[in-house]
Amino acid sequence: MNQATIKDTMVRTAEPFIGADGRIWKRVSVQWENLCYAPGQYVMLAGVKCGADWPTPLTIQRATGDRFTVIIHPDCPLYGLKAGDAVAVWGPNGTGVAMASGETAAIITDARGCLPVRPYVEAFGDHLSGVYLVGGGDASTVLRADITEKADDPAELKDRAAVLNADKVLMALPVGLIVKWKQAVPDDLAARTYAFIAAKIACGVGGCKSCFITSGDRSFGFPVCCKGPMLPLTAVDFARDQDSLIHYI
């Protein structure tokens, strides 16, 4: 199991803004001194006053000084959080995708998926070869990056030079579209693709086994909450694990 720091702390700010799907999202900062994390990691957060006493996984968007920031979608149980609310937090959890010197990465997401990939957009900087949006909406304000191209289907992007030649492709899409991508692209491109796997994360440390998937050569399973949530596409057997996977919030 992973070990995580547990804190009782408070919400510093909760600011509404227009999200990528046109609805009102919230940018929430939480008190935590000098949080050390890797892009792609998340925290488990519970807020009793807003009725969310069971923890929810939220991607860490950034951390500065005495606080870290998460973005909360209107469908999230924590949407009612406001400044001054007491919260319980543990983390950081999960494993990020690292970039070696000289490597490049392309990101493919839909409007909702921009939440887990936004930290990578900021962290990769010059390593980023392109940001592609699948479906409707405008994710540029959330991602804080220009959208290279929009597409109705991710398979439309498989021949783009910035995607085809990238050392890594990071993808945050519904399971059905991830499967379509895996079926459409050459094996070498599939091997370079990482997908955001939205399993049913309940504890964040690998103890409860609610997010275990049994793919690959690990018949006994492995926890998405510890090894992911961004996993190599080839590590996931979607036919076997589809009942364990959900669309994310």
Pick from 29-43, 78-92, 164-178, 187-201: least confident: 187-201
| Burial status of residue 204 (CB atoms within 10 A of its CB: 0-12, 13-18, 19 or more) | buried
Q: Tell me if 174 sits within 8 A of 247, measured CB to CB.
A: yes
Which amino acid, residue 178?
I
Check pLDDT > 50 for residue 206.
yes
Region 159-182: mean pLDDT is 94
Q: Binning pLDDT at 50, 70 and 90, where does residue 3 land? A: low
Q: In the chain, what percentage of residues exceed pLDDT 70?
A: 92
Structure tokens at 86: 């007491």
pLDDT value at residue 124? 92
Q: Binning pLDDT at 50, 70 and 90, where does residue 240 land? A: confident
Look at 79 and 219; give whichever has higher pLDDT: 79
Element (H, E) at 11: strand 5-18
Residue with tokens 């504890």: 203
From the centroid of its chain, how far is CA 108? 12
Q: Binning pLDDT at 50, 70 and 90, where does residue 79 land? A: very high
Q: What is the CATH number of domain 5-93?
A: 2.40.30.10
pLDDT value at residue 219? 58
The rounded distance, in Å, linking the Cα atoms of 38 and 33 is: 16
Distance set, CA 23 to CA 19, 20, 32, 108, 172 (Å): 5, 7, 28, 21, 19
pLDDT value at residue 249? 40
Kindly tell me the sign of the dihedral angle through the C-alpha atoms of 122, 126, 127, 132: positive
